[in-house]
Structure 1
C-alpha cells in the first residue's frame, strides 16, 4: 500500500469552504480511480492560517499514475483553488505503508 500526502494552507476564514471543495474535487476524483483504497483530510491552525493535509491510500504506484499522470510527484490542482486563497504544495510525497492498524 502507498500513501500519497499533499498539503496546502489557506486563510482560516476559507478553511471550511476549501475542505468542502476538496471533497467535491480531490476525494471524488481519487475515489473513482481503480486501486484507490481510502483518504483522510487533516487540518490544523498554523500562524493564523489553516493547514490542510490530504492523505490518500493506493494499492500501488501504477494506480496513482492512473489518477495523477506519469509524474506522480506533481500535485493535481483544480481551477477554483484560487477562490480559497490557497497556497498549495505543488509536489506530493509518497510513502510505503508499513503498518495500518485501526482500533
Structure 2
C-alpha cells in the first residue's frame, strides 16, 4: 500500500476558496480512481501564506498510475490551480505503508 503526499501553497487570501475547490473537484477525482482507499486534505495557515497537504492512500503503485500516469512521482495539477498556487512543485512523495492501525 502507498501513501502519496502532495504539498502546495496559496496566498492566505485565496485559501478558503482553494479549500472549497479541492473539496469540490480534487477529492472526487481521487476517489473516482479504483484502488484509492482514502483522501485527506490538511491545511496550515502561516502568516500571509497557507499550506495544503493532500495525502492519498492507495492499494498499490499500479492504482496510483491510473490516477497520475506513468510517472507516478510527478505532481498532477488541475487547470484551476494556476488561479491559486504560488508555485508548482514538480514531484510528490510516496511512502510504502509498513504498519497501519485504523483505531483512531
User: What TM-score comes out, normalization by structure 2 length?
Assistant: 0.90
What are structure 2's unaligned runs of at least 5 residues? none
What are structure 1's unaligned runs of at least 5 residues? none
Moved more, 80-89 or 18-27: 80-89
| Aligned residues: CA RMSD | 1.3
- 1:58 match: 58
Q: 1:98 to 1:25 in 2, by over 3 A?
A: same
**Structure 2 contact 8–85 (Cα < 8 Å) conserved:** no
User: What TM-score comes out, normalization by structure 1 length?
Assistant: 0.91
CA distance in 1, matches of 2:78, 2:92: 15
CA distance in 1, matches of 2:64, 2:46: 29
Structure 1 position 36 matched with structure 2 position 1: no
- 1:14 match: 14
Moved more, 42-51 or 9-18: 42-51
Structure 1 position 23 matched with structure 2 position 23: yes
Q: How many residues align?
A: 103
Question: 1:24, CA displacement in angstroms?
Answer: 2.3
Q: Hey, which bits of structure 1, 4+ residues long, moved more than 6 A?
A: none
